Amino acid sequence: MTASWRWAAIGLCIGIGCGGGSKPVAQTPAPTVATQVPASAPELRFEGRFEGDPAAPHFEWPGSTVWLRFEGTSVKVTLGERSLETDDYGQVAHDWYDVTVDGKALAALQADEGVKSYTLAQGLAKGEHLLALRRRTEAYVGEGELDGFELDPGARVLPAPAANRRLEFIGDSITAGFGVDGPDRNCLFSAQTENYSHSYASVTAQALGAEQIAIAATGAGVYRNWGGSKENTIGDLYGRVLPTHSTSQWNFARWKPDAVVINLGTNDFTGGDPGSANFTAAYRTLIARVRQNYPTALIVVALGPMLSDLWPAGAHALTQSRAYLTAMVGDLNAAGDAQVKLLEFDNQDQAASFGCKFHPSVQTQQQMADKLSAFLRTQLHWN
């Protein structure tokens, strides 16, 4: 073979490849379309009461949470929002949400009216992450709707883990976290200063590693509400998935707590002493419903920190409510239900700080959580 032919053969091999060499491997193009996670995805975990179309469930109670576990670097959520009230400053109130990824708090989210998409996190490290989207605000602020999540292209959804412990909280504005993020006692109600995540209920649940459901509404009483109304007391709201919808009924078989903490009575006494017979009868009716739904749960009857003998004048609210609750729990124990316990939170009259409208501050809520957490650990034998 002449030199010219040898160079021609080499050129041919370079152009088309010669026997014995490896063939080029086809490269799969990287995904370019975002990964959609519908609200009905079985991998999601819902903590709280949700109802309606699985593709767009609605929710209102404070603390309602959706958990998303995924492998990816970014996440968006699509939420529906329907405002239900105007705050004390004349502003249309909208729901607020806490966002945490891998236990780290990110920027809080304020929902806008209508159905919109929001970026929750981006630029995350590659690998597995656990996101929690938790509602801060109570039912009367607005009705929420989850329409799904969006992850970056190629991301993967994984089953979100469930907690082994469960706690239910039944209460009023204290449990809902009314004004807890406010600067002092002089501020008025706004959605921006209400934060269930800073309430004793949420802090206790997180300290004990427990799932939680909160049935809490500002102004709610056992026998009568703030202002004296006997409509939509906590007894009326207790069985609802969406508290602003009277026909929305919760299936108690879906979720059974280890303990139920009832922190009520402050609003019953705002108009003066409701009387032992009225107050106790309504409270016992509520406890009977709780016991029927959860035959083995511990029921904690709490005496709240805002009850005071200083106000309203002459009502002796703290002394009277303590007497009523002590006698009621004693009677229930004597009748055979030893799983009803009384717990008195420290009175906040001399507290170092206050939230809006004299509600418990972050500091007071933390003190309540510390006391309740220790109590539950002992009663439930939780390490």
Q: All domains of the chain, ordered by start, with CATH? A: 35-158 (2.60.120.260), 165-380 (3.40.50.1110)
Give the model's pLDDT for residue 20: 47
C-alpha distances in angstroms, 55 versus 41, 42, 76?
8, 11, 16
Amino acid at the residue 358:
F
Give the position of tokens 């919109």: 116
CA distance 354 to 183: 8
Taking a C-beta distance cutoff of 8 angstroms, is the pair 219, 227 a contact? yes
CA distance 333 to 339: 8
Give the model's pLDDT for residue 22: 53
Q: Per-residue DSSP letters for 286-340?
A: HHHHHHHH-TT-EEEEEE-TT--SSSSTTT-HHHHHHHHHHHHHHHHHHTT-TTE
CA distance 289 to 283: 10
Structure tokens at 162: 């469930």
Structure tokens at 222: 């056992």
Taking a C-beta distance cutoff of 8 angstroms, is the pair 159, 344 a contact? no
- Averaged over successive runs of 10 residues, the pLDDT of the chain (383 residues) comes to 38 41 58 93 98 97 98 98 97 98 98 98 97 98 98 98 97 98 97 98 98 98 97 97 97 98 98 97 98 98 97 94 98 98 97 97 98 98 96
39 in the Ramachandran plot: left (φ > 0), alpha (ψ -120 to 50) or beta?
Answer: alpha
Give the model's pLDDT for residue 7: 34
C-alpha distances in angstroms, 252 versus 21, 243, 257, 289?
68, 15, 10, 11
Residue 93 dihedral angles phi and psi, to the nearest 5°: -85, 140
DSSP strand E in 10-164: where? 35-37, 45-47, 58-59, 65-71, 75-83, 96-101, 104-105, 109-110, 114-121, 128-135, 142-151, 156-158
Nearest CA among 143, 169, 175 for reference residue 242: 143
CA distance 364 to 370: 10
Taking a C-beta distance cutoff of 8 angstroms, is the pair 82, 197 a contact? no
CA distance 94 to 86: 9
